[in-house]
Structure 1
Amino acid sequence: MTNPKFQPLNPTDFSKTLRSRVNSYFKDNNLSKNGNSGMFFKSGIMLTLFFGPLLVLCTGIVSSIPLIFGLYITSGIGMAGIGMGVMHDAIHGSYSKNKKVNNIMSYTMNLIGANATTWKIQHNVLHHTFTNIDASDDDINTPFFLRFSPHAEKHWIQKYQHLYVWFFYGISTLLWITAKDFVNAVRYNKMGHYKGAKKFWKEITDISIWKLVYYSYALVLPMIFLPVAWWIVLLAFISMHVITGLSVSIVFQTAHVMPDLDYPIPTNTGVIDNDWAIHQMATTTNFSPNSRFLSWCIGGLNYQVEHHLFPNICHVHYKEVSKIVAEVAAEYGVPYHVKKTFSRAIVDHLGMLRSLGHMDAPDVAVAA
């Protein structure tokens, strides 16, 4: 399928005004758009939370089963923190103004069992460009038993998805570290994202090597050295991924699979009749903007609107940038979606999943 194009080609007044004011904010306050000391401090904490418990487990000095589970779960919290608050900015190029630093920090994605290159295609290219556009946004392209868009194919089992989706959220990173990167690499090669067979097979080799490294220190070495049955270590390892999978999936999906957001469809000529920036406003929502703690923990992804508009800006700046976005949106009459709390966002997401499981035709706003 050919991905759609956005119209108008020239930025709207809203888009130009917003970008101008955001740029002025950084210039007037003599601020870098990249990470600051707080970002580096957070990176240290999240990396320590992930690697620290695994290091203890690899030494084999732990014999308590509850402690083994506790260490793995702590590592899962660190893994989620790396995914949302470290590698995410690095892969967008907003972690540092130094490209080498961004490249190095993006490999924290590989260290937690996934792959930075395939994620960059899925997330930066397909999701950020074509947000909530069925068959183009890879974040809403799901297996037949899940339906994240009113334009996706309908199956009877989906009427129960609001009940069983949590299981699949929980195992999402387990699927990611085993099969998803390989499956996506094959798909993206067919879509032309890899230039030639040589680059594709190099990527397959890199994915394989990184996964062997990850499984070695996260699972195999603890199995060898811990004085407990191998299946106990495996269950603890799975519990780590359930924590990460639930955390990451809920944060990302509550930003887009929501009842008051748009799911635009291209015209017959493959055009989205909208400015790209306004499209991002219509397909994305913030949540819990007043919780500094939550924002710190999830890498500022409660400000998803700002992230989608300015992925080149580090998340440590989103709270201040959000004030500018809200102001300009009000001036131009552009919708600015915000859920007051994270719990409200989860409840609305649950309701949207239930609605999508029952609806046969779109009952949300779509592009002409």
Structure 2
Amino acid sequence: MESPSGRQNTSAEVEQETLDLRQVKEADTGARDFTHEDLDALEFTWTIVDGRLLALDRFIPSHPGGPLINRAVGRDSSDLFHAHHTSEMARAVLAKCFVGYVKSTQASNCRIRTELNKRLEAYIKTAKTGTPWAEVIAFSMLSLFSIWTYFVYVQGYFWLNILSSWFWWRHLDAGLHSVVHGDFRYSETLHRGLYRAYSLLCHHMLDHYEGNPLSLSQHFEHHLYTNDFRKDPDWTVFAVGRNWIRRHACNAWQPYNAWQVFYWLPVRCLLEPVTEILTMLATCMNGASQVFEAPAGLEKFTARVEDVVSWWFEAFVSPGFQGAAFLFQPWQQALSALILSRAIAKLVLLPFAEVQHFLMPDESFQDEEFVLRQLRTTANLRLSNPVVRLLDFLMFHGDSLQVEHHLWPAMSFVHLRQASQILKNTCQELGLPYHEIGFWEAYYKVWEQVKVHSEQPE
């Protein structure tokens, strides 16, 4: 049985959760009803799940999902709760939080979510979980990566670098993504070790995934408001400013956008990699200079040094920057391999990293159930070749399975492929939308978007 944090429960824990859940249901019969006026006067931190009022003060510090629970405070969080908890037993954890019912609450319509969770729960119960496959895959891939770095950086295998660096570049980012989402649940020690490894190898993405203790990370915000260009950080943060490529009307139009139909691919494959490399170099140099500033205290100085070391470590080892290659190869060869490998990576990864998030919602969909809105606005990348599917899986969490990942962010990547088939069959049965886009079709889709938004708005 799966706990809300994704860890496998023991039989004793399951029995206790069943007892707690039964006690909650019995307590519900005599529970107090609250009005919306009552909520304004409450002196504790609360949320509403399926019409039940919950007090969160004692639960927030121990919440397995960390600061994500802050998004539930003071609102009806039914959609948020069901998105991150596939089992009904997750309700047992909230047993001691139950306060009463909220009268006339505008509870979320979760009919579709309930049906999908019911079908996925049957699979999760029968899935083989005795072997920590996620951890086995992670450590195996990190070992292969260390071998790859030796042949590419030290021995200078030029074509091995060009043809495979995109895979490792994306793997390291997805590995950090998997750690943050809790995919490695078998052992806290293993989890900490993998977190340390991936946060070193992909340090520049750490703040995006983790955020800070006072707020949600941009990545969690993205999961809450996927493809809503008013709230999704992928639009409000990353898609603002002086963009060379204008792919949506929410992007500010610039005079040079008028010609972007002809130059958007060279910009993506050449200009973006160069600017990213220069940005990393500037960050490392600025960080090194900050180490020599007068520290405010030993603790802050140590944290500053660790941060700078992490930046430099990534700059030397990451396939996206390859600083170590410049120590063992002629700089001309190392530089040309770096630029060309990044250009190839941008080409190969475009459908994985971009297309799934550009089915922008129509205004009429805004009040729909969360699940239905996700199904309308997110797409999977259709991969029919089994070798390609294996590569996609080894890049962690199946980058092509964005629909399932958006609906169940807490689900381990080892379950997503099976969940995809269950969800696809369910959508066909219930007449729900389920989008899949071919790899080459993705390029045409992006080109069409760029062409449409190259016109200056009136």
What TM-score, normalized to structure 2?
0.59
Deviations 1:283-327 (A, max 9, x none): 110121533322322231222111111121222322221222123
Cα 1:283/1:344, change in 2 over 3 Å: same
Cα 1:243/1:203, change in 2 over 3 Å: farther
Letter in 1 for 2:200: N
User: How far apart in 1 are the matches of 2:184 and 2:391?
Assistant: 16
User: How far apart in 2 are the matches of 1:176 and 1:220?
Assistant: 14
Cα 1:209/1:162, change in 2 over 3 Å: farther
Q: Which runs of 5+ in 1 are unaligned?
A: 184-197, 362-368
Q: CA RMSD in A?
A: 3.9
Is 1:282 aligned to 2:376, yes or no?
Answer: yes
Q: Which residue in the other structure is 1:318 paired with? A: 416
Cα 1:292/1:30, change in 2 over 3 Å: same
Q: Which moved more, 1:121-130 or 1:200-209?
A: 200-209
User: How far apart in 1 are the matches of 2:267 and 2:131?
Assistant: 33
Letter in 1 for 2:172: G
What secondary structure, in the 3-state scheme, does the structure 1 residue paired with 2:380 have? strand
C-alpha displacement of 1:56:
3.6
User: How far apart in 2 are the matches of 1:199 and 1:181?
Assistant: 26
CA contact (8 A) 2:375 2:434 kept: yes
Q: Which runs of 5+ in 2 are unaligned?
A: 1-70, 80-105, 212-216, 284-297
Q: Which residue in the other structure is 1:152 paired with? A: 251
C-alpha displacement of 1:178:
5.5
Is 1:55 aligned to 2:150, yes or no?
Answer: yes
| Aligned residue among 206, 212, 237 for 1:116 | 206
Deviations 1:169-189 (A, max 9, x none): 436566556648999xxxxxx
Cα 1:288/1:255, change in 2 over 3 Å: same
User: How far apart in 2 are the matches of 1:283 and 1:317?
Assistant: 22
Cα 1:331/1:242, change in 2 over 3 Å: same
CA contact (8 A) 2:427 2:434 kept: yes
CA contact (8 A) 1:177 1:211 kept: no
Q: Which residue in the other structure is 1:209 paired with? A: 309
C-alpha displacement of 1:330:
3.6
Q: Which residue in the other structure is 1:15 paired with? A: 113
Structure with the larger RCO, 1 or 2 (CA within 8 Å, 6+ apart)? 1
User: How far apart in 1 are the matches of 2:187 and 2:456?
Assistant: 48
Cα 1:53/1:42, change in 2 over 3 Å: same
| Aligned residue among 323, 336, 353 for 1:252 | 353
C-alpha displacement of 1:77:
3.5
C-alpha displacement of 1:149:
2.6
Is 1:354 aligned to 2:451, yes or no?
Answer: yes
Letter in 1 for 2:352: V
CA contact (8 A) 1:15 1:277 kept: yes
Is 1:101 aligned to 2:190, yes or no?
Answer: yes
Calculate percent identity across the aligned residue pairs.
18
User: How far apart in 2 are the matches of 1:200 and 1:278?
Assistant: 46
Letter in 1 for 2:251: A
Q: Which moved more, 1:279-288 or 1:98-107?
A: 98-107
Is 1:223 aligned to 2:326, yes or no?
Answer: yes
Letter in 2 for 1:208: V
Cα 1:325/1:150, change in 2 over 3 Å: farther
Cα 1:92/1:170, change in 2 over 3 Å: farther
Q: How many residues align?
A: 325
Q: Which residue in the other structure is 2:441 paired with? A: 344
Deviations 1:151-210 (A, max 9, x none): 333334334434433344436566556648999xxxxxxxxxxxxxx9999887654321
Letter in 2 for 1:158: N
